[in-house]
């Protein structure tokens, strides 16, 4: 009688039968690894912490110490913190970390609440008066070309900052035809198609001594860096301020130096607060963004035309690759209709423009 054995023989059958076999051990290892591998809510804890920290920095930026100018530095570049959100999101997706993705909701929501309103175009075509402000640069190699470009903008009122004694007659000659009225005090000036009156310097307690050494020898600036004048419009008088606040410097041993700028801002804010005319326009290089706490005394009294009627962030400095809007047009008692940035001139700043109405 022939016996037929249908059971599997050989190494494969032995592996399945014997607990110590290689296949059995491999299966056990896979099961253990699966059980020990962290789930999606436990993956990427570092990414989650970074996301929450980013959100808290943006949310609580006003509470960051300003020792060494740290607070001002953070607030100057605050819009750029949003770039970290997609970077962290890419890392969270790569790690398949649900906790990191959820944590990223905080910085995303905070950034949108702070800057989401600047993403759209809020400008309107109306406008009774066009104003332009420009730091022309003390070391501008082509003042005549800069003046020609600014005149071509069609601005009714043109404010210039950082005018050197050497460049002053060049600007006056180049702008004389388009702007029959003008005034220059120290390093700031105003050119207008409309009559000017009651021009006076504004004391901003500027101390340029230590900072003048950073400029070319032939570009040392005078003490007067702010003025106030009255523009006669067909709707009544308009008080116009032109200002150039102290420069911000990275100083060895003391950090981000903002002392002069901060002192100037407070003095200028006091002058604006005492202004009797209800209609006010301030044009100037304030060496700070409207998010910077140092300008709170100004931004609490005046409206930023870029935030109210601009298209985008309106970055103005440096001209070759703008990363911050430190050239401002702030108003009170008039309606911002539009705000934009003009093409580059020979300066390291871009000109800023705005249309306003009554």
Q: Answer yes or no: do 157 and 198 share one domain.
A: yes
CA pair distance 292, 304, nearest whole angstrom: 13
- Residues of the chain with pLDDT below 50 are 1-2, 4, 11, 13-16, 206-221
Length of the chain: 358
The predicted structure's pLDDT at residue 208: 42
Q: Answer yes or no: do 73 and 33 share one domain.
A: no
Q: Answer yes or no: do 207 and 269 share one domain.
A: yes
Going along the chain, which residue ranges are E strands? Answer: 129-135, 157-161, 181-185, 188-192, 196-201, 226-233, 236-244, 249-251, 255-257, 280-285, 303-304, 327-332, 335-341, 352-357
The predicted structure's pLDDT at residue 210: 43
Q: Answer yes or no: do 32 and 66 share one domain.
A: no
Residue ending a domain, choose from 63, 90, 118: 118
Q: Answer yes or no: do 93 and 138 share one domain.
A: no
Q: Answer yes or no: do 219 and 98 share one domain.
A: no
Q: Answer yes or no: do 181 and 309 share one domain.
A: yes
Q: Answer yes or no: do 174 and 258 share one domain.
A: yes
Global pTM value: 0.84
The predicted structure's pLDDT at residue 254: 60
Residue ending a domain, choose from 118, 137, 159: 118
pLDDT tens readout for residues 277-299:
999 999 999 999 999 999 999 99
Residue 187 sits in a domain of what CATH number? 3.60.10.10
Q: Answer yes or no: do 57 and 135 share one domain.
A: no
Q: Answer yes or no: do 79 and 168 share one domain.
A: no
Number of domains in the chain: 3
Instruction: Sort 10 into a burial class: Cβ within 10 Å, 0-12 / 13-18 / 19+.
Output: exposed
Q: Answer yes or no: do 188 and 256 share one domain.
A: yes
The predicted structure's pLDDT at residue 128: 94
The predicted structure's pLDDT at residue 240: 98
Give the structural domain span for 60: 45-118
Token readout for 79 is 């819009």
């Amino acid at each position: 009688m022939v016996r037929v054995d249908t059971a599997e023989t050989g190494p494969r059958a032995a592996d399945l039968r014997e607990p110590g076999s290689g296949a059995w051990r491999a299966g056990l290892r896979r099961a253990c690894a699966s059980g020990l591998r962290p789930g999606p809510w436990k993956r990427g804890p570092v990414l989650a912490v970074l996301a929450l920290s980013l959100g808290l920095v943006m949310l609580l930026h006003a509470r960051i110490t300003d020792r060494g100018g740290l607070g001002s530095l953070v607030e100057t570049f605050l819009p750029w913190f949003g770039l970290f959100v997609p970077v962290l999101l890419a890392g969270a997706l790569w790690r398949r970390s649900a906790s990191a993705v959820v944590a990223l909701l905080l910085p995303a929501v905070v950034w949108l609440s702070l800057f989401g309103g600047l993403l759209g175009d809020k400008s309107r075509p109306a406008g009774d008066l066009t104003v332009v402000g420009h730091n022309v640069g003390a070391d501008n190699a082509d003042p005549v070309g800069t003046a020609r470009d600014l005149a071509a903008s069609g601005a009714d009122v043109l404010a210039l900052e950082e005018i050197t004694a050497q460049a002053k007659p060049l600007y006056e000659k180049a702008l004389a035809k388009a702007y029959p009225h003008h005034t220059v005090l120290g390093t700031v000036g105003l050119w207008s198609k409309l009559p000017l009156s009651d021009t006076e310097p504004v004391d901003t307690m500027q101390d340029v001594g230590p900072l003048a050494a950073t400029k070319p020898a032939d570009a040392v600036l005078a003490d007067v860096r702010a003025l106030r004048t009255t523009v006669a419009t067909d709707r009544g008088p308009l008080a116009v301020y032109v200002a150039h606040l102290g420069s911000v410097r990275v100083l060895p041993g003391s950090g981000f130096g903002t002392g002069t700028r901060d002192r100037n801002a407070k003095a200028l804010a006091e002058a604006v607060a005492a202004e009797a005319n209800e209609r006010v326009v301030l044009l100037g290089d304030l060496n700070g963004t409207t998010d910077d706490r140092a300008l709170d005394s100004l931004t609490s009294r005046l409206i930023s035309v870029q935030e109210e009627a601009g298209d985008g962030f309106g970055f103005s400095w440096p001209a070759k690759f703008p990363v911050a809007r430190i050239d401002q047009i702030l108003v009170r008692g008039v309606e911002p209709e539009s705000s934009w940035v003009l093409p580059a001139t020979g300066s390291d700043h871009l000109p800023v423009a705005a249309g306003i109405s009554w």
